[in-house]
Structure 1
């Protein structure tokens, strides 16, 4: 069962949440676990614990808590394919989003049959400027217009050389920014926080279809997919009228206090 916390007023989703009470707990396994279950390989290197999301207007901040923040670039000699970049080593994946979450399979088994060809069709992706960075950088939000996830995303298979490694196959890990089916719709930033064990993505979803729904689904994993997390959180943007009324109310309170002080 997923754990959600919704805060009141303008901030729709909680940011002041215990580090152990995530809005999305990592209960998703995904396909090709090779018998390992949730985490393939060393838990201390790859485990994803959960996701917290906070909202300010239409700006999202998505915090992914994972042990991988201290391990970017590992296995740089014999694992990562060089077809996408001359850099080597396992890297941070991009963040995928959709207005609904439709995983394939059974929650009791961690949706072990879910992969890019089944389950959720991801409609947006936040792409990192340098996924091998240990500190963070800039990013861009893309609308994913292709009919399938593979038209819009590189998979773990594209980054990992399977002759030398065991990894989770078929997972969307990076936006195909060079594809004709993806369109840049915004920008943002990302930050690696090794003290608190999280990687944070911040970007504006104004003007996207994501603001039209009542929930947002997320998908994230490092480029090998050794641990992947999926889930959804409730979402709402305050109506302009509601914000105006709130502003008038606060102004009235301030005016009354000034009169009382006089």
Structure 2
């Protein structure tokens, strides 16, 4: 009898899930494999974790994409890891989560995490970060989103840039549940610009919540940016996980095949 869920998924999807890592949601990314050696490889995680790295530096006049802001608005690295029960997300950024949202003072707060089911450019779901200035919803809430806010930049501001593909904050939606989230304080010593200040977000949510939001096991993007959208970052987890009912049917089917095989070989 096959007991390993990852092996069951591999047989039916052709994709082997990585061995489940022990991840504690505490804002410390050491258990993701993130290092503190002061070089570019610090951002490379453990095997099996999908990631995007775009670490930059500089002052507020430094160009990012599609806007400016240097280290203070740098979306540095985004990570995603899927087990048979949870989605884990981690973000490294130079943007202080407590940055006030005061556009008249050229200051923009932290955005929410957005998820695009099916990679079609529509972000159906959001995870609400909920800093002090945010008037919508509850902190750590997973929402089926009805309306997004967007950043400062219009279509074509940068090559291929489409405003609709870069949501910044949830304005309206339906609360589906609460994610586990931790945000670190300021940290230094990471990456090739080791004197830069970094902040880390870490999130865990059950796959059941994603299914409640309409996810059918297909590919999806995770997106994050600030309210100005001066620098965005996207990661697309590569593993397709069947729905819970499908897993049960697979398990029962494999158990049946194993039982029949044992019965035949007993004669």
- Tell me if structure 2 keeps the 8 A contact 1:214–1:234: no
CA shift, 1:192, in A, is 1.5
Relative distance call for 1:93 and 1:131 in structure 2 (3 A) is farther
Query: CA offsets per residue over residues 190-234 of structure 1, 9 Å max, x none?
Result: 221233632123322313356522422111101111111123111
TM-score (norm. length: structure 2): 0.55
* Map of 2:79 onto structure 1: 52
CA shift, 1:125, in A, is 0.9
Q: Is residue 79 of structure 1 aligned with residue 105 of structure 2?
A: yes
Q: Is residue 66 of structure 1 aligned with residue 80 of structure 2?
A: no
CA shift, 1:131, in A, is 5.5
Relative distance call for 1:75 and 1:130 in structure 2 (3 A) is closer
Q: Which runs of 5+ in 1 are unaligned?
A: 1-5, 28-34, 81-88, 103-119, 147-151, 159-167, 247-262
Q: Is residue 183 of structure 1 aligned with residue 174 of structure 2?
A: yes
Question: Equivalences for 1:82-161 in 2 at 5 Å?
Answer: 89-102=107-120, 120-130=121-131, 138-144=139-145, 146=146, 152-157=147-152
Match of 2:240 among 222, 231, 236: 236
SS in 1 for 2:179: strand
Q: Is residue 172 of structure 1 aligned with residue 167 of structure 2?
A: yes
* Map of 1:8 onto structure 2: 18
- Tell me if structure 2 keeps the 8 A contact 1:39–1:47: no
Aligned length: 186
Matches of 1:216 and 1:139, distance apart in 2? 20
* CA RMSD, 1 decimal: 3.9
Relative distance call for 1:208 and 1:74 in structure 2 (3 A) is same
Q: Which runs of 5+ in 2 are unaligned?
A: 1-15, 24-30, 35-41, 55-61, 154-160, 188-197, 255-267
* Map of 2:44 onto structure 1: 21
TM-score (norm. length: structure 1): 0.56
